Amino acid sequence: AQSVTQLDSHVSVSEGTPVLLRCNYSSSYSPSLFWYVQHPNKGLQLLLKYTSAATLVKGINGFEAEFKKSETSFHLTKPSAHMSDAAEYFCVVSPTNAGGTSYGKLTFGQGTILTVHP
């Protein structure tokens, strides 16, 4: 079984300040973890993914996330927010096969809406 909890439904930051979106997961096996971004009425865009390699993962648009097994966390960060970062962000977990590749069902967190103020 697997589950994901995004600890904040809304996060509001000022442009140029750091972003922290929190995610905790639960999984009975080695997980693959993802962060996706969704702009209004659009599909999902993959920001970054962890699939059992380096625990600090760098993604697109300056985002990164660190897999912390002891804390069962995969928080998303960015040093400096941009207005275009305003969107909804989803933390996602899936199983990982023996080869270290994600497979099977994706389980989505509830989403965090990021607002960026000028």
Please give the DSSP secondary-structure letter assigned to residue 85: G
Count of residues in the chain? 118
Q: Does 59 interact with another protein (rule: CB under 8 A)?
A: no
Candidate residues 27, 48, 57, 102; the one interacting with another protein per rule CB under 8 A: 102
With beta carbons less than 8 A apart as the criterion, state whether 30 and 96 touch: yes
Q: Does 89 interact with another protein (rule: CB under 8 A)?
A: no
Beta bridge mates, 88: 38, 113
Query: Could you give phi then psi for residue 62, rounded to 5 degrees?
Result: 80, 5
Nearer to another protein, 44 or 86 (CB): 44
Part of the chain binding another protein (CB under 8 A), chosen from 12-20, 21-29, 37-45, 74-82:
37-45
Chain residues that interact with another protein, rule: CB under 8 A: 36, 41-45, 49, 90, 97, 101-106, 108-111
